[in-house]
Amino acid sequence: MRIAIGSDHAGYALKQEIIAFLKDKGHRVYDAGPYSAEFCDYPDYAIAVAQMVANKEAELGILICGTGLGMGIVANKINGIRAAVCHDAYTARMSRAHNDANVLCIGARVIGSGVALDVVQVFLETKFSGAERHRRRIAKITALEEARTPS
């Protein structure tokens, strides 16, 4: 699977662990940065990853910051992105099965690397259920995005 990943300075170390984990599982990983733990602005990396997913350059995205919240807010501004902040396996599973989330946001200061790797694994393994009620709800989200996009 093609996976885009990015972080800010708070998520840099966990990003490195997740990249190694993904590569060990045979995934193709696109690291959108940063490339050091120097202070940086999370929107830059959230936009880069979200655009890669929206443009189909990557199938899924993973974003890591201190809480996951900032990354999620920014990523969800990009049409076609359904970013979910997940801090346990259950929310990761439901974000994919019910919401067809395509970007996972993790808080490096909220969960440890062991739980984070479990969350990533569940997010990648879970497929969208395709249930009619979930497809209907996602269609409403898509319609909202289309309505706010200038022609």
Determine which one of 65, 87, 105, 134 is catalytic: 65
> Is there a catalytic annotation at residue 134?
no
Determine which one of 40, 98, 105, 134 is catalytic: 98
Structure tokens at 93: 């599973």
**Angle formed at CA 109 by CA 92 and CA 100, multiple of 5 degrees:** 20
**Angle formed at CA 117 by CA 35 and CA 134, multiple of 5 degrees:** 105
> Is there a catalytic annotation at residue 65?
yes
Are 103 and 82 in contact by the 8 Å Cβ rule? The answer is: yes
Integer Cα distance of 41 and 36 in angstroms = 13
Active site residue ranges: 65, 98
